[in-house]
Structure 1
Amino acid sequence: MTAKFEIRADYDRDSIVVYQAYRPEIAEAAVAAQRFVPPFSTERMTWIKPSFRWLMQRSNWARKDGQERILAVRITRAGWEEALAQAVLTSPERRVYAGNEQWRSLFARSVVHVQWDPEYSLRGAKLDHRSIQVGLSRHIVDRYVSDWTVEIRDLTPAVRAMREHLRAGRVERARGLLPAERVYPLTAELAKTIGAEPV
Structure 2
Amino acid sequence: MGNENNLPLHQVRADYDRETIVVYQAYRAQIAEPAVRAQRFVEPFSLQRMTWIKPSFLWMMGRSNWARKPGQEHVLAVRITREGWENALSQAVLTGYKRGVHADHADWEQQMKHARVHVQWDPERTLSGAVLDARSIQVGLSRHVVADYVNAWTTEIRDITPTVRKMADLLKEGRKDRAAQHLPKERPYELPPHIARRLRGERG
TM-score (norm 2): 0.94
Matched, 1:168 2:177: no
* Residue 41, structure 1, aligned to residue 46, structure 2: yes
Pairing of 1:4-153 with structure 2 (within 5 A): 4-94=9-99, 96-153=101-158
SS at match of 2:48: coil
Do the aligned partners of 1:36 and 1:145 also contact (CA within 8 Å) in 2?
yes
Question: 2:179, 2:7 → 1: CA distance?
Answer: 22
Structure 1: runs of 5+ lacking an equivalent:
none
Please list every run of 5 or more consecutive structure 2 residues that lacks an aligned counterpart in the other structure: 1-5
For 1:82 and 1:186, the matched residues in 2 are separated by: 11
Q: How much has 1:98 moved relative to structure 2?
A: 3.0
**Is 2:1 aligned against 1:2?**
no
Q: CA deviation at 1:194?
A: 1.4
SS of 1:80 mapped into structure 2: helix
Other-structure match for 2:200: 195
| CA distances 1:76-130 after superposition (whole Å, capped 9, x unpaired) | 0000000000000111022532321221111110010001000011111110100
> How many corresponding residue pairs?
197
Opposite residue 63 of structure 1, the aligned amino acid is R
Shift of 1:25: 1.4
Q: Work out the CA distance in 2 between the residues paired with 1:161 and 1:137.
A: 33
Letter in 2 for 1:93: K
Identity of aligned residues (%): 60
Counterparts of 1:88 and 1:184, CA distance in 2: 19
Contact 1:29–1:36 (Cα < 8 Å) also in 2: yes
CA–CA distance in structure 2, aligned partners of residues 182 and 196 of structure 1: 21
Segments of 4+ moved more than 4 angstroms: none
What one-letter code is carried by the residue in structure 2 that aligns with 1:43? Q
Measured in 1, the distance between the counterparts of 2:83 and 2:143 equals 19
Is the CA contact 1:95–1:195 (under 8 Å) kept in the aligned structure 2? no
What is the SS of the residue equivalent to 2:144? coil
